[in-house]
Structures are given as structure tokens and as C-alpha cells.
Amino acid sequence: MKDLDFMARAIELAKKGQLKVQPNPMVGCVIVKNNKIIGEGWHQEYGKNHAEINAIKSCKKKFGTNKAIKLIAGSDVYVNLEPCSIERNTPPCSNALIEYQIKKLFCGTLDPNPKINGRGIKLLRKAGIEVKVGLLKKECNELNRIFFTNQKQSRPYIILKSAQSLDGKIALKSGESSWISSPESRKNSHHIRSMVKGILVGRNTAEQDNPSLTVRLAKNELGLTKNEVLEQPVKIIIGNLKKSKKVSKIFAGKSKIIIASKQPAKKFGNIEYLEYKNKNFLKKFLQDLLDRNISSILVEGGQKTLNTFIVNNLFDELVLYTAPMFLGAKSKDAISLNAPDSIKASKKLKMVKQEKFKDDIKTTYYNTNV
């Protein structure tokens, strides 16, 4: 196997933590001696051991502690993200790699956290360990788009999602919108829900649709075992929302609910009200969400909410499910923005993926303007 193969394996391992590690990054680690893998691991759950420690443990389990210590000494380690160098929930991984006397570290990308960025690499090099940074860098950066956005933008990673007709409509004039997309598309949207920490809608959408804002997929559909717990996303509402029959599904269950409005801040049970007196509070609200470890959100709001995020350039990804139907001129547009002064001045996105769910087309775009 080649260096690229070992790093690709580290990335593959890292993905196993996708549903469990946020707000931490996904990290995988492979330990190699004489061109053979002697240990591998990944960060399995937020607050638990990091990938490097789990890889060391796997080596000990396979060969026994004494033999593993001898094997790890002089080994090569492949990790998609720079080993941590500060102690938070767990001891610094860079210290462990130095202690076990590895020979060389292949690191996909540096940690964007300014408190860590390059620090772990310096510690390893100072200890005489050879370090190479940048192996499969593009793939490593893509893997942790959420974490990189959290660190660089000081806000959650934001995905905007909408289901629309061929003529760009989301509902009839009457407000009827069930169901534009197919059952297959809706099932796929639940996979997106499972990968974020919060789901956001505006008050109007909450009152008109009474959505549950939950992940409704079986554990086996998400790749989870029977014993693993699926943590439901936080339900996030913009606008003064009070308990009523109109929104009974939102307040059902034990999921945490955050409501942002001009109402006084208060917290009781699983519900927290955040007060914002200024009209343009979105950036502050997003920072407050990140402070609560809500590192990613799926915005499923209606036209007004989607417009607000787009106009303020506060989104990283746009997902559109387009159904093969026409809803006509008087139906409600998915998005309604003011026209730019010129085509050149228009906001352009990068299309990264197209998928088909029955007769619907799902298109995923990245916002390259952030």
C-alpha cells in the first residue's frame, strides 16, 4: 500500500463518527509499521477518546501492550487532521504520539482552531518526529467542512433546503404544499436532518405546517446499532412562538427547543427563549447557537426565512429538491430576491452534486462567496 492508501483509510475511518462527534471534527488514524497497518481508530463520540488514542488502543488489543509499544515506536501515523495539542475533554494527542516514539506523521490538514493551528506539528517536529502536511488535503478539508466553518466563521455550518416545482414554486396560493417532493426525497431529507445539530424554521412555517422537526428513520437506516442513541436535532424557531394546537408537534417529545424573538429571555424544561431587540440579530443569534454546541443547522423555513439567510450571505450549502410539476404564476416562489444591478453582480453558487429520487432531482450547491 502507498501513503495515499493509508490516508484514504484514515478518512474512511473518520466518517464513522459522522453522527456522534459534533461539534468536534471527524478524525481517523492509521498506524503503519513495515508497510502494514498495526492499529487504527477514529473519534467515535464527542467528549470521548480521539482517533490517535483509539488507534493506539487497537494496536494494544491486537498485539498485547508490551509488543504494541515496541511496534508503535518507529512507526508511521496517518491522520486526516492535525493532532490536538491542548487539553480539553481529553489529553493532547500530540503528547501521546511523542510518548510512543512514532517516527513519522502524515497529516492531511492543519487544525483551523487558532489555538491549535500548527502547534501540534511544531511539538512533534521539536521531538524529532518527521511531519508531512497536505496528503489528500482537499479530501480532508471536505470531510470537515462543518468544523472548519465553525472555527473560521464563528457560527454553525448552515444548509438551506427547499422542495420546489419545475417553475420554482413551494406552495399554491392557498398555502397548500403537501407533498411537492416524493417519499424518496423526503426520506433523503431525513438523512440530512440526522447529520445536523439543529433544524430551523420561521414562526410562519411552524404555525402553518406544524412540523415535527425530527429525524424519523430507523437506526439501521442511519448505520447505527440497536444500542446506539440517536440524538434528535434541536428545534430552532425564529419569531415569537407559543404553545398551542397549531404547533403541537414542535412541542411534543423531549427535544431541546430554542426560540429567538423580542420576548424576554427565559428557560424552563427543554425550552429556551433568547431575546433579541435589534431587527438585524441573525449573526448574533448564530453565534449564540454555536456557543450552545449547535455546530450545524438545516434551515427548512419558508420563503421569508430562506431569503433572509441568502441576503445576509449566511449559508454554506443549498439543497434543492425539484419535483416534475408546475404550480403556476400565482403560486408561492421558493425564493424571492431583489434583482442585481447586472448579471456579473449576481450571486453564483457551485454545483457539487446531483441525485435522483424517483422522479425528483436533488441538487446540492456550495456557497463559495463566504
Residues belonging to the active site: 52
Q: What is the CA radius of gyration of the chain?
A: 23
The crossing angle, in degrees rounded to 10, of helices 51-63 and 65-72 is 120
Location of C-alpha cell 441538487: 363
CA distance 315 to 270: 27
Report the Cα 144 to chain-centroid distance in Å: 8
Coil, strand or helix: which one is 291? helix
Angle CA(9)–CA(15)–CA(20) in degrees, nearest 5? Answer: 145
| DSSP per-residue codes, 207-226 | HHH----S----GGGGT--T
Q: How many helices (H) and strands (E) does the chain have?
A: 12, 17
Identify the CA nearest to 6 among candidates 80, 102, 94: 80
CA distance 41 to 44: 9
Location of C-alpha cell 412541542: 251
Helix ranges (DSSP H) in 195-347: 203-209, 248-251, 282-291, 303-311
How far are the Cα atoms of 89, 200, 351 from residue 86, in angstroms, in the given order?
A: 10, 33, 37
The crossing angle, in degrees rounded to 10, of helices 51-63 and 3-14 is 110
